[in-house]
Amino acid sequence: MFKFEGTLLMPVCVLALYAIACSGDDRPQSDVIEDGEVANDIVDDGQTADMPIDSTGGQPLEIGPHSGLPIAGEWFDDWDARHSITSSRWIQSSDFGTSTFEIIEFDKENRSVVARNADSNQFSPGLFSRFDWTEKDGRVYYCNTRFDAATAQEAAGEAPADGADPENGGCVSFAWSRLNQVPSWDFLGVFKDEWGTSHTIRPDGWSQDFEGQESLFRIISVNAEKGYLIAENDGENQFSPGLFSRMDWVTFMDRLYFCHTRFDAPTAADAEASPAPERKHPDQSGCQGFAWTALDPLAEPMAEIIDAPGDTGQGTGDAAKAVNGVRGGGRDAGGSDVFSVGFDLDANGYLVIGIKDRSIKDGPGSDFAIFENVFSLGDGGMFMDPAVVLLSRDGLTWVPYPFDYTADDENAYSKRPSDWDGFAGVTPVMLNEETNDVNPFDQAAAGGDHFDLANLDPGDPEAAAIRKYGFRILKIIPAAIVLNPDTGEAFVRDPMSNGPDIDGVWARNLLAD
SS (H, E, C) 245-267: EEEEEEEECCEEEEEEEEEEECC
Per-residue 3-state assignment (H helix, E strand, C coil) for 170-183: CECCECCEEEEECC
**Residues 408 and 417 sit within 8 Å (Cβ to Cβ):** no
Contact 141, 77 (CB under 8 A): no
More confident call, 175 vs 380:
175
For residue 91, pLDDT over 50 is answered with yes
How close are the terminal C-alpha atoms of the chain, in Å?
17
The 10s digit of each residue's pLDDT in 240-263 is 999 999 999 999 998 999 999 999
| CA dist list (Å): 339 to 414, 495, 510 | 24, 20, 25
Output the pLDDT for position 488.
Answer: 95
- How deeply is 386 buried, as exposed, middle or buried, from its count of CB atoms within 10 A (0-12, 13-18, 19+)? buried
- The three-state secondary structure class of 377 is coil
Q: How many residues make up the chain in this entry? A: 513
Buried b / exposed e over 286-300, threshold 16 CB at 10 Å, is: bbeeeebbbbebbbb
Q: What is the mean pLDDT of residues 370-393?
A: 94
Q: Name the pairing type of β-strands 2-4 and 213-223.
A: parallel
Alpha helices (H) in 307-460, listed in sequence order: 443-446
CA torsion sign for 263, 267, 268, 274 is negative
Report the alpha-carbon distance of residue 134 to residue 39 in Å, rounded.
24
Secondary structure string (H, E, C) spanning 382-410: EECCCEEEEEECCCCCEEECCCEECCCCC
Can you give the pLDDT at residue 485? 94
The domain limits of the chain are 2-181, 189-297, 300-512
So what's the pLDDT on residue 338?
A: 97
Which pLDDT tens digit goes with each residue over 187-206? Answer: 889 999 999 999 999 888 99
Q: What is the pLDDT of residue 65?
A: 64
Specify whether the CB–CB gap between 295 and 257 falls below 8 A: yes
| Beta-bridge partner residues of 258 | 249, 293
What pLDDT does residue 51 have? 36
3-class SS of residue 272: helix
Confidence (pLDDT) at 82: 86
Biggest alpha carbon–alpha carbon distance for the chain: 74
Contacts of 33 (CB under 8 A, 6+ apart): 53, 306, 307, 352, 395, 396, 473
Kindly list the distances between the CA atom of residue 8 and the CA atoms of 57, 76, 186, in Å, as whole numbers in the listed order.
Answer: 53, 11, 20
Alpha carbon distances (Å) from 180 to 71, 75, 135, 170, 435? 11, 5, 12, 19, 50
pLDDT tier at 33, thresholds 50, 70, 90: very low
More confident residue, 97 or 10: 97
CB-CB neighbours of 444 under 10 Å: 8
Tell me the average pLDDT across 456-471: 87
pLDDT beyond 50 at 55 = no
Which run of H or of E encompasses 91? strand 89-94
CA–CA–CA angle 391, 392, 394 (5° rounding): 165
DSSP state of 58: T
Cβ partners under 8 Å of residue 292, min gap 6: 250, 257, 258, 259, 277, 282, 283, 286
pLDDT of residue 86: 83
Report the range of poorest mean pLDDT among 118-122, 161-165, 239-243.
Answer: 118-122
> 7: buried, middle or exposed (CB in 10 Å: 19+, 13-18, 0-12)?
exposed
Q: How many CA atoms lie within 13 A of 91 on its CB side?
A: 17
User: 232: which DSSP letter?
Assistant: E
pLDDT at 36: 27
Q: What angle do CA 266, 268, 274 make, to 5 degrees?
A: 85
Tens-place pLDDT, residues 267-295: 999 999 999 999 999 999 999 999 999 99
Phi-psi region of 212 (alpha: psi -120 to 50; beta: other; left: phi over 0): left
CA 282 – CA 252 distance, rounded (Å):
7
Tell me which residue of 496, 501, 502, 499 sits closest to 413, measured CA to CA.
496
Q: Which pLDDT score is estimated for 66?
A: 60
State the number of CA atoms in the 13 A half-sphere of 426 facing the CB.
25
Q: What is the pLDDT of residue 10?
A: 25
CA atoms within 13 A on the CB side of 322: 32
pLDDT one-digit tens code per residue, 131-160: 999 999 989 999 999 999 999 999 999 999
Q: Which residue has the higher pLDDT, 378 or 314?
A: 314
pLDDT at residue 58, rounded to an integer: 63
Give backbone dihedrals phi and psi of 241, rounded to 5 degrees, phi first.
-65, 140
d(CA 32, CA 390): 16
pTM of the model: 0.79
